[in-house]
Amino acid sequence: MNIEIERIELFLLKLPYVHFFETSLGREEERTFILVKICAEEIIGYGEVVADTSPLYSYETTSTAWHVLKDYLIPLVLEDSLTNPQDFYEEANKYRGHPMAKAGLELALWDLQGKKEQKPLWKLYGGEKREIPAGVSVGIQDSIPELLERIHAFLQEGYQRIKIKIKPAWDVTICEEIRKIFPDILLQADANGAYSIEDKETLKKLDEFNLLMLEQPFPPYDLWDHSRLQKDMKTSLCLDESILSEETSRKAIEMGSCRIINIKVGRVGGIVEARKIHDFCQERDFPVWCGGMLESGVGRAHNLHLASLPNFKFPNDLSASKRYYAEDLIEPPIEITNQGTIEVPESPGIGVFPQEERIKKATLKHEVFKAR
């Protein structure tokens, strides 16, 4: 299908969090990210680039993504007319790395295609679930009582599982305290790479707490030490930062580095790659789930469509708009049902409606690229 694209706009946006978010990488009070808007034949497609201002979770930043989009990726669409997301994916792959930049633009092309075909994205992707099990990621707090209070409040809101962030000295005791009060909840822990194989004995103590999984104990490059740890732990390891593609998924599975894979569309470079990982894992009966990057409603809606695929087997890091932002960019806001799920939008494309005046209010920088 061919679409005549008129222009692509990039927005650098800043939204304050309702509550700070702290991981082993540090504490953040607000989120700065890039919104991609593609205008064509009266329709508009939106994508979100999840890169942060600092290269902490990954090497990409809002500045590197802006540069790569402006100088390399946007020209593929405007000059080489690669408007089909699959074609864009293949051409964009001649450039090494920068998956978050690639994903943001590819997502906007998918939204455009869905709107052109008058179909919600989940249908384009071959999704099946209409409601997505919602889990919440709870950051490191200033004290244990504050953490327990937050967990309690999220459970009241209906979230099906709690993920806590851990780091050395905020790990075993924390799990112990949580299990004293909430012995039966679905609980998992995410270290964002804060440990090394030297910490094996500490990590093995986490086996006591019946965790659903332990996410990314070691740094991204380290499939080998993850496989050594997995052999010695009862708890299933899940890889997030280490999984960059179908290829790294295959290697992680072959090496026994984990038993579960977290898919984030930004980290793997788009929906095409995310679906490859999904399908590869599904054929091997290896479960995946959908991670999050504290997205605005645009990125969150994109994640919902992806998470409707059948091999997403655990509650996802997909929560309500109000868990992060006082005012999300979209209408209607994303909400949790009484069953602790989120409904996949039904309108064409992402199926939610970004609000122009809210985007304007949050904008730090804006640039327009026109087709010639």
Residues within the interface to ligand OSB (CB under 6 A): 57, 137, 190, 192, 240, 291-294, 317, 319
Give the CA distances from residue 306 to residues 156, 302, 367, in Å, rounded to whole numbers and listed in that order: 26, 7, 29
Residue 165: its H or E element = strand 161-165
| Residue 360 Cβ vs ligand OSB, minimum distance, rounded to whole Å | 24
Residue closer to ligand OSB (CB basis): 76 or 293: 293
| Residues 166-225 interacting with Mg ion (rule: CB under 5 A) | 190, 215
User: Which partner in Mg ion, ligand OSB, none is near 328 (CB below 5 to 8 A by kind)?
Assistant: none
233-236-237 Cα angle (round to 5)? 90
Residue closer to Mg ion (CB basis): 23 or 83: 23
Options 37, 102, 115, 264, the catalytic residue: 264
Residue closer to ligand OSB (CB basis): 141 or 192: 192
Cβ-proximal residue to ligand OSB, closest one: 292
| Residue 135 Cβ vs ligand OSB, minimum distance, rounded to whole Å | 8
User: Which partner in ligand OSB, Mg ion, none is near 342 (CB below 5 to 8 A by kind)?
Assistant: none
| Residue 190 Cβ vs ligand OSB, minimum distance, rounded to whole Å | 5
Q: Give the tokens for residue 253.
A: 């599975």
Is 264 one of the catalytic residues?
yes
Give the separation between CA 280 and CA 154, rounded to whole angstroms. 33
Is 231 one of the catalytic residues?
no
Give the separation between CA 53 and CA 55, rounded to whole angstroms. 7
User: Which partner in Mg ion, ligand OSB, none is near 28 (CB below 5 to 8 A by kind)?
Assistant: none
Residue closer to ligand OSB (CB basis): 82 or 238: 238
Judged by CB under 5 A, does residue 240 bind Mg ion? Answer: yes
| Residue 262 Cβ vs ligand OSB, minimum distance, rounded to whole Å | 7
Options 102, 116, 165, 167, the catalytic residue: 165
Give the separation between CA 63 and CA 110, rounded to whole angstroms. 24
Give the separation between CA 298 and CA 150, rounded to whole angstroms. 25
Give the separation between CA 361 and CA 59, rounded to whole angstroms. 28
| Residue 137 Cβ vs ligand OSB, minimum distance, rounded to whole Å | 4
Short-list 320, 288, 294, CA closest to 306: 288
Q: Which residues contact 288 (CB under 8 A, 6 or more apart)?
A: 260, 261, 262, 263, 277, 278, 281, 311, 312, 313
Q: Which residues contact 62 (CB under 8 A, 6 or more apart)?
A: 12, 32, 33, 34, 49, 51, 52, 53
Residue closer to ligand OSB (CB basis): 26 or 183: 26
Residues near Mg ion (CB under 5 A) are 190, 215, 240
The residues that are catalytic are: 165, 264
